[in-house]
Amino acid sequence: MPFSHHSHSGQFCPGHAVNTLEEVVQTAITKGLRVFALTEHMPRHEIDFYPEEKDGNYSLEKHYANESAYYAEASRLRDKYKGRIELPIGFESDWIRPESRDLIERSISGHSFDFFVGSVHHVHTIPIDYDQGMYDQAREKAGGSDELLFQDYFDAQLDMMRAVKPPVIGHFDLIRLKSEDPNSTFTKMSGVWGRIERNLDFIAAYGGVLEVNTAALRKGMREPYPGRAICQLALSKGIRFCLSDDSHGIDHVAYGFVEAIEFVKSCGITHLCYVKHVDSPAKTVDHRFANMEFGIAALSDLRDS
């Protein structure tokens, strides 16, 4: 299976992932991936640290140091494995509060990243995919129902996209993971579905790429992120798609890709985008990433990959 645009390692995402970054890259090579983007998490303000970070010896300065060490190691691996696999170097952003924009822009300007994945993991500053207890807290703060929390999630997602216009939008409907019905299509929730369509319109307007993320399959859901109804609506608006495993270690690399390719095909999607790192500045619509281009691959060329 050829491409992934979202990955993590235990080396630079301790507590949430396992294995070294090089072990993850070696596994991607073994599994025949052509492009495997590296996207460790960006720094977060100390007020937004996860429980294990609050209890440990962490600080924002150490997050900055971790990001610099990650970029250096990712650059080394890109050079070491050049010719065997393409390794675009990016990061996954966290949108938690308006001040998150400062950290995202610092990451963009501080290193020569190829792109980033724009994600929302928090609503009302509370993590919504960490554990059930925190999801329930966020739901109560939103008004006590999944539907109200869904609305607030997609409002936060729009705030994130307006502020930083991520080249790739990560796990678009992650909010369903801990909900009462993780396989919800949202279509019967008018207040939610209207927000989804509004957000897709914004993605289409600035040219963002929507990630098809197989972590949902790994976590027991029937369809990847985003689900079929969202993919088909996005396709009708001319939005492009890329494929990701959101791996957190070697066991997740290319997880569910056979099923995902059949899924996107059944949605009517005929092509997938992939990130390309180019050594000479490219003509790109995003001036922040002069060494990034999007390639296009037909699904018909991937069936035997």
Alpha helices per DSSP H over 118-187: 132-142, 146-164
Answer whether residue 304 shows pLDDT above 60.
no
Average pLDDT estimate for 200-215: 98
Q: Is the peptide bond between 226 and the residue preceding it cis, with omega within 30 degrees of 0?
A: yes
Rounded Cα distance, 48 and 63, in Å: 12
> Which tens digits make up the pLDDT trace of 169-200?
999 999 999 999 999 899 999 999 999 999 99
- Cα 277 from chain centre: 18
Rounded Cα distance, 36 and 2, in Å: 8
Specify whether the CB–CB gap between 260 and 223 falls below 8 A: no
Look up residue 25 and give its two tokens: 């890259």
Percent of the chain with pLDDT over 90: 88
Q: Which of 301, 236, 230, 232 is nearest to 272 (CA)?
A: 301
Q: Is 19 exposed, middle or buried (0-12, 13-18, 19+ CB in 10 A)?
A: buried
> Which tens digits make up the pLDDT trace of 247-285?
999 999 999 999 999 999 999 999 999 998 887 766 666
Pairing of strands 122-123, 126-127: antiparallel
User: Where do the domains of the chain lie?
Assistant: 3-301
Backbone angles phi, psi at 247, to 5 degrees: -70, 145
CATH topology of domain 3-301: TIM Barrel (3.20.20)
Residue identified by tokens 């020569």 is: 112
Enter the pTM of the model.
0.96
Backbone angles phi, psi at 41, to 5 degrees: -70, 145
Rounded Cα distance, 29 and 282, in Å: 26
E-strand stretches of 236-291: 240-244, 271-277
117 compared with 57, residue with greater pLDDT: 117
Look up residue 195 and give its two tokens: 């927000």
Average pLDDT estimate for 204-211: 97
| pLDDT value for 285 | 66
